[in-house]
Structure 1
Amino acid sequence: MRTIGLEEHFVTPELVGYGAGSASIAQPGAWKEASRRLLDLTGERIAGMDAAGLDVQVLSLNAPGIQAEPDPAVAVARAVAVNDLLAATIAEHPSRFAGFCALPLQDPQAAAKELERCVHQLGLRGALVNAHTQGRYLDDPELRVVWEYAEGLDVPLYLHPANGVDHPHVLSGHPELIGPMWSWGTDTASHVLRLIFGGVFDDFPEAKLLLGHMGEGLPYVLWRLDSRWGFHNHHGIELHRDNPSEYLRHNLYITTSGVCSAPPLLCALLALGSDHILFGTDYPFEEMDTATEFLRTAPISDEDRASIAHVNAERLLRL
């Protein structure tokens, strides 16, 4: 069975420094090993893909990537350079790799044009966005131009977690809750809800959003969202689709990255349908063979397994 992974990270020596914040929340030994793997684009990575039965990785720059750069002009230049490198790597191994570009969202117009260049000239399949950009989220009115281009190009934006601008008071005194184990997921789910209630998907109804980690918990709260939206003070907000769940079922696609567990997969299948779930490994932070073995043995139909493994990715990314 052909298998395509959509959350497969890398970094370059020039951009390693942007990940210092992520290093602070990891076990030192684990971060050292992950860092070594991030820098290896083709050698050990391809051998690991072969051993795990992973046919294609859709590569993306590791968090927080370009978005950690405070200078917009530097961000633009570094995004162009890393996207050119990614395209060159794919060209050397076209049957094994595809890619999501990095965007210099510090400059929205430049980011939109870079997305267009990457899709039309470099053959990349969309973009991966790491949480906020210098405190600005994807519902910001100035970033509507990026959504306009993404919808027009018919490519997804993959929203990936990163360190937040700040931390909720409820996490104070508990640094163990900050990071991918907990806060990144709740931050990212909240970011998605900002897009819905901020009108992004009303302005761009056919925009496509990818979300990792089995949907960051959102597939499991659809009924509650709709019920409380009906009860809640709307503060002047109107939704064209009436209920939040309708946007999540229409605009959202999720990947299995970093969640190798049957119960949430089964819930996601019931909540979103098999045509909105794709495969990912979260390499190098999870093991490829663990993820592919999970997909092969999950208690789902062979038709759903094929959809998740490759059919949906081939359709969504035109692979």
Structure 2
Amino acid sequence: MKGKIALEECFTIPELLEYFNPSSFASKGVIGDDLTGNLLDIHGKRLREMDENDVEFMVLSLNAPGCQAIANQKESEDMARLANDYLEQELLKNPKRFAAVAALSMHDPAQAAEELKRCMTEKKGFVGAMINDFQSVGEDGQGIVFYDDPKYDAFWKAANDLEAPVYIHPRPSNKLIHELLWKGRPWLDFSALGYANRVNAHLLGIVTAGVLDRFPKLKLVIGHMGEHIPYDLYRIDHKLDRNRFPNMPMRKDKLVRDYFGSQIFITTSGHFSTPALICAMTEIGARSIAFSIDYPFESIPNGSCWWDEYVSVNVSERDFVDMGRNNSLNIFPKLKDPLHGLKEMEPEECGVGGLRASEGEVTYGMYNKDYNRRMRKV
């Protein structure tokens, strides 16, 4: 599919490596050829692979855990400003291929709101924000802050008023969580299980705290095919019984599923499973889903091959193109601004659909080009 837009694509800056060095997370050759090098690169290998795989556009975000891992408030806030200034400089070199979501320190809701406002109104190329799950705080860095606390309404109001979607991304656990939950099974702490468990709890905490009801223009985005939520959505709604939990702040006449497609959206980042996608489409609808890769933690060719060759034959052409491109423009409307100039496209503009036959060629059906014998794909 031509014209694909990818929303959860990471980069880093040298200054962040002091706090989180990807080489300690995965040495060379484990995740791609050079994870740290690929995070630092924007205009080289990344752009070349985008071109080779019909990825027209990427929205860039500071690599997790980003500012959320920095327990010192001033250092965290300084890192966010530094990263955002750097990213504006880089994306303006090629704004027809890149936009950004703002990095934020979440120590102080008012300060986070101000930095988001700076990025959305004073800087160019920013279309929303990304926060990497909980904020680390405290002298030992083991304190945790979640954003369903009412004091964070100052931040959510800013995101609502600025119409800045907020992407909630996973991060590694801290030492305390790791010791309590993952000691003896550290391989489960990361993207296999722990990331999704922590983010889905955080998102559902925000929703059930009534944040989306208080701020109806607020949009939240999560990756990795919804961090397990679509699969569990019946049970989530069923068990949030209002008679059992009469003080739950979420609107009494709504289910969690009712927010999908208008205020909650998911992406396919790093979760290239067609059955999982079909499940999500059935539970929350195609308009709630957008294509993403999760580069460089995932492969641009691998994610694009899955989308173009496997998803394409399992969903309708309209849903395929909407999820691959158009939904992203509805979630992040600033992508349509003249700076980036993106527009919604019809299937035929994306090279989808139509009769796949050369002029004058005799066709014998939609799948096989010989009447008498099966032609197998190589």
Q: Normalising by structure 2, what TM-score?
A: 0.79
Match of 1:310?
A: 325
Letter matched to residue 211 of structure 2: V
- Residues 267-278 of structure 1: pairs in structure 2 closer than 5 A: 267-278=279-290
SS of the counterpart of 1:4? Answer: strand
Q: Aligned partners of 1:10 and 1:313: how far apart in 2?
A: 20
Q: Aligned partners of 2:34 and 2:229: how far apart in 1?
A: 31
Match of 1:243?
A: 255
The 1:105–1:169 alpha-carbon spacing in structure 2 relative to 1, beyond 3 Å, is: closer
Give the Å deviation of 1:149: 0.8
User: Any conservation in 2 of the 1:277–1:308 contact (CA below 8 Å)?
Assistant: yes
- Residues 147-158 of structure 1: pairs in structure 2 closer than 5 A: 147-158=156-167
User: Any conservation in 2 of the 1:151–1:207 contact (CA below 8 Å)?
Assistant: yes
User: Any conservation in 1 of the 2:23–2:35 contact (CA below 8 Å)?
Assistant: no
Q: Aligned partners of 1:249 and 1:169: how far apart in 2?
A: 36
Per-residue Cα deviation, 1:185-205 (whole angstroms, up to 9, x for no partner): 111111111112222122213
C-alpha RMSD of the superposition: 1.9
For residue 133 of structure 1, the aligned residue among 132, 135, 138 is 135
User: Any conservation in 2 of the 1:18–1:66 contact (CA below 8 Å)?
Assistant: no
User: Any conservation in 1 of the 2:290–2:323 contact (CA below 8 Å)?
Assistant: yes
Per-residue Cα deviation, 1:274-294 (whole angstroms, up to 9, x for no partner): 111111100001100111121
Q: Aligned partners of 2:206 and 2:179: how far apart in 1?
A: 20
For residue 151 of structure 2, the aligned residue among 137, 142, 149 is 142
- Residues 162-181 of structure 1: pairs in structure 2 closer than 5 A: 162-165=171-174, 166-167=177-178, 169=180, 171-181=182-192
Q: Which is worse superposed, 209-218 or 24-33?
A: 24-33
Match of 1:219?
A: 230
Letter matched to residue 56 of structure 2: D
The 1:294–1:29 alpha-carbon spacing in structure 2 relative to 1, beyond 3 Å, is: closer
The 1:170–1:74 alpha-carbon spacing in structure 2 relative to 1, beyond 3 Å, is: closer
SS of the counterpart of 1:30? Answer: coil
Match of 1:289?
A: 301
The 1:71–1:172 alpha-carbon spacing in structure 2 relative to 1, beyond 3 Å, is: closer
Q: Aligned partners of 1:168 and 1:301: how far apart in 2?
A: 46
Q: Aligned partners of 1:173 and 1:229: how far apart in 2?
A: 33
For residue 279 of structure 1, the aligned residue among 277, 286, 291 is 291
Letter matched to residue 213 of structure 1: H
User: Any conservation in 2 of the 1:197–1:239 contact (CA below 8 Å)?
Assistant: yes
Structure 2: stretches of 5+ with no match in the other structure: 137-143, 336-378
User: Any conservation in 1 of the 2:261–2:287 contact (CA below 8 Å)?
Assistant: no
Q: Aligned partners of 1:11 and 1:242: how far apart in 2?
A: 39
User: Any conservation in 2 of the 1:132–1:164 contact (CA below 8 Å)?
Assistant: no
Q: Aligned partners of 2:149 and 2:8: how far apart in 1?
A: 25
SS of the counterpart of 2:103? Answer: coil
**Higher normalized helix content (fraction of residues):** 1
Q: Aligned partners of 2:58 and 2:95: how far apart in 1?
A: 10
User: Any conservation in 2 of the 1:126–1:157 contact (CA below 8 Å)?
Assistant: yes
Aligned residue-pair number: 318
Give the Å deviation of 1:168: 8.0
Q: Normalising by structure 1, what TM-score?
A: 0.93
Per-residue Cα deviation, 1:51-92 (whole angstroms, up to 9, x for no partner): 121111100000011122222222222211211111111111
For residue 258 of structure 1, the aligned residue among 256, 265, 270 is 270
User: Any conservation in 2 of the 1:25–1:178 contact (CA below 8 Å)?
Assistant: no
Per-residue Cα deviation, 1:91-114 (whole angstroms, up to 9, x for no partner): 110111011010121122111011
The 1:274–1:150 alpha-carbon spacing in structure 2 relative to 1, beyond 3 Å, is: same
- Residues 25-44 of structure 1: pairs in structure 2 closer than 5 A: 26=26, 29-30=29-30, 33-44=34-45
Q: Aligned partners of 2:166 and 2:218: how far apart in 1?
A: 8
User: Any conservation in 2 of the 1:125–1:155 contact (CA below 8 Å)?
Assistant: yes
Q: Aligned partners of 2:242 and 2:204: how far apart in 1?
A: 17
Q: Which is worse superposed, 74-83 or 296-305?
A: 74-83
SS of the counterpart of 1:300? Answer: coil
User: Any conservation in 1 of the 2:173–2:189 contact (CA below 8 Å)?
Assistant: no
Larger radius of gyration: 2
Structure 1: stretches of 5+ with no match in the other structure: none
